[in-house]
Amino acid sequence: MSNRRVLVTQRFFDDATIRYLRDNGCAVSIAEFAPGQADGGLSHDDLVNLLDGFAGWIVGHAHVTRELLKALPDLKVISRRGVGYDRVDLDAARDLGRVVCIAAGGNDASVADHTIALMLAVGHRFRETQTRMIEGDFSILTGRDLFESTVGIVGMGRIGRSLAERLQGFRCRILAVSGRDLPPGVAPNVEITNLDTLTRESDYISVHAPLTAETRFMFDAERIAQMKPSSFLINTARGGLVDDRALLAALKAGAIAGAGLDVYVSESDPTYKPVTEELVRLPNVIATPHAAASTVEGLARTNMVAARSVVAVFDGGTPLAECVVADGRRA
């Protein structure tokens, strides 16, 4: 039998997906990590030692470099249990004949739900209210409705569109910036506009763009200064889309009303760790630890999408087109 060994370096990998891989002839190994450790913190040498001899890798946030791929000649397919791929050297994967996949469509619902939760929580000041109640202060703080507000969505991919669907129920005016043309009927009742207009007019801004050289720090000090003083910034996409240092300054100055954050610059740049620590302590910030996709149902869906891509490559086929971000076999 050809090499069908698969290493999973993600927590919460469900039994049904493991059975699927084994039923398709795969030998599955689950990497074990100490509490608080994840594959994103592993060194090059650690990854080489873990992955030596494996043909498939279901990965989380590890950096997949050219050097790593060269050191792992048996590795055929890298399948992300997620949709971002900014930590993967796609050019190297193509050059070296590897396949890189994402779990497209697996976590759209979970992240969209989480985004709505952050909007409601920060708008209604849940954290501030509960903190006061714990201290014995049961006075009422007035919040802001999501209902009939203006919401700006930056990026109309799968998650952005899922968010727009949910906002229909709140009778929101929805503004959006999209890097691609949307097919007719895909996003009804959404006004496509430019980023300046969206920033100035939105009560809630939710960022759902990919992280690229062009989008890095798209919400910098200048952009945040264009927001309404009563508005909220939500980021469940990638930390580098928002300059967290500029966001911290704006929140402390009262330039905007609050923020809901699931991702942080410090995830990729340790020099921002003090900024993250200060942000999550602010009373008008609702923060979660890059957990938007981490529901039981969402993880099961993304696990299976990632696994199906691995099996497709092992079988000599092609994974779903929306899942493939690099295919060096076509070079």
| Annotated catalytic residue within 114, 208, 267, 301 | 267
Q: Is 267 a catalytic residue?
A: yes
Residue among 240, 196, 198, 204 at smallest CA distance from 222: 196
Return the residue matching tokens 């929140």: 251
| Annotated catalytic residue within 238, 245, 301, 308 | 238
| Annotated catalytic residue within 94, 114, 290, 308 | 290
Furthest C-alpha separation in the chain: 69
Return the residue matching tokens 């873990």: 50
- Strand, helix or coil at 324? strand
- Strand, helix or coil at 281? coil
Phi-psi region of 292 (alpha: psi -120 to 50; beta: other; left: phi over 0): alpha
Cβ neighbours for 60, distance < 8 A, ≥ 6 positions apart: 9, 10, 38, 39, 40, 80, 81, 82
Distance CA 203, CA 307 (A): 40
Distance CA 113, CA 117 (A): 6
Residue among 247, 255, 235, 232 at smallest CA distance from 278: 247
Query: What's the order of all strands across the beta sheet hosting 5-8?
Result: 27-30, 5-8, 56-59, 77-80, 99-101, 324-327
Q: State whether the Cα torsion 105-106-109-113 is positive or negative.
A: negative
Return the residue matching tokens 């503004």: 175
User: What is the DSSP track for 91-137?
Assistant: HHHHHTT-EEE--TTSSHHHHHHHHHHHHHHHHTTHHHHHHHHHTT-
Active site residues: 238, 267, 290
